[in-house]
Amino acid sequence: SGSDIIGPDDLAFDDAGNLFITEFTENRVSVRTPAGRTHILQGNVPGANPITWRQGHLIAGECRHDARILELDRDGGEPRVILDHIPMTNAFEVGPDGKLYFPVMEANQIWRINLDGTDCEVVAGDLGVPDSVKFDAKGNIISTQVGSGQVLRIDPRTGNRTLLADIGPGLDNSTFVGERLFVSHMTGS
């Protein structure tokens, strides 16, 4: 309330300490510098939701039907489309292999793609409606399932999965702090 940032949904830091924020309700991505200055980086990202940073690549996506995944120009230029026509994606991350792994909620699958937009493939399916993909220290996918409420560990090479927790429907995202896994719920818990 009263901030330059309206309705923040997801965030990522670059190596210089800039904070990139998706603003779902405003259909935009903003940046806040380490000095505290904020400006709109990209103003035409309908359903702006997932965002991640990896080795010079700022990648954002849309959580909507017929979504896109974009590489954003940090100077505000036109974004590059990595993939489009995705049946709804959410929180994603670049894996140890350098590929982007992302949940495809309407397909009930997890996909991966090279950052140049080639070789898109399904990693795992028949899940509990995945809505986040992160990686543990051993290179396994950790994915929250919004529909089933499960937190799964998935081997990205084989698709084999292990149930880590069953918290209840409505899970939204996850992150690691060291070895500790934190999971958020749509209720705010």
CB atoms within 10 A of CB 88: 20
Which residues have CB under 8 Å from 20's CB, separation 6+?
11, 12, 13, 14, 29, 30, 31, 41, 51, 53, 58, 60, 72
Least confidently predicted of 1-5, 68-72, 176-180: 1-5
Strand order in the sheet with 109-113: 93-94, 100-104, 109-113, 121-125
> What's the rounded mean pLDDT across residues 72-90?
94
pLDDT tens digits, one per residue of 49-64: 999 999 999 999 999 9
- pTM: predicted TM-score of the whole model, two decimal places: 0.94
The residues facing 113 across adjacent strands are 100
In whole angstroms, what is the distance from residue 120 CA to residue 182 CA?
28
> How many helical (H) and strand (E) elements, i.e. helices and strands, does the chain have?
0, 18
CA 27 to chain CA mean position, Å = 15
> What's the rounded mean pLDDT across residues 72-94?
94
pLDDT tens digits, one per residue of 131-178: 999 999 999 999 999 999 999 999 999 999 999 999 999 999 999 999
In whole angstroms, what is the distance from residue 69 CA to residue 103 CA?
12
| pLDDT of the residue at 1 | 64
The residues facing 150 across adjacent strands are 166
